[in-house]
Amino acid sequence: MTSSNDNTLVRSLHDLGAAGWFGGSLAGVLGINGGAATASDPRERLRLSGAGWSKWGPAQYLSIGAYVVGSAGMLLSDKGRLAAQPAARNNALIKLGLTVVAAGATVLSTALGRSISDRSEEGAQGVTEPSGSSSQELESSQRLQKVVQWVTPLATAGIIVLAAQQGEQQRPSNWFDTLKQRF
């Protein structure tokens, strides 16, 4: 039996969405891009990476959507606590900042990935490593992707850590300590 203030659904959407976003982006960098780099044909490296990311894309955006819906639900349900607990409010603001960074990196990485995939016929040493025959456009996209691809897993890891901290902040001792300080 659940109570009217049971937030299991929104917390689950938040946590599963963040986990999918983090895990998928990390597996993509290490598994998809890393695995594609082992192809013997330089043109296949970029094609395989593009195909792998295209297959993962719908799940990635579903994870992001679940995270956003869950986060919004948690913010609504925690508005009283956020007003009363400065530490909880600061945590939520930092998570919001990391969410914006992760979303921006995801969008940029997706655009760079498409640019790289569109130039797969040029071939490359790896997904983010140009070859001597790479065009300036491909090389530029690859060099930027080499950095940007790591931003999403790092930012979403921070989101997951801050979510754990938020759970700790909800322990009764933290809540009562905050109330005692206010009164």
d(CA 36, CA 124): 11
93 band by pLDDT with thresholds 50, 70 and 90:
very high
Model confidence pLDDT, tens digit, residues 29-75: 999 999 999 999 988 999 999 999 999 999 999 999 999 999 999 99
pTM: 0.86
Q: What is the pLDDT of residue 167?
A: 79
In this predicted model, what pLDDT tens digit does every residue of 138-173 receive, in sequence order?
999 999 999 999 999 999 999 999 999 887 776 666
25, 156 contact by CB (below 8 A): yes
pLDDT of residue 2 exceeding 60, the answer is no
Indicate the pLDDT class of residue 1, thresholds 50, 70 and 90. very low
Residues 6+ apart with CB under 8 A from 151: 101, 102, 105, 109
pLDDT value, residue 56? 93
When pLDDT is cut at 50, 70 and 90, the band that residue 133 belongs to is confident
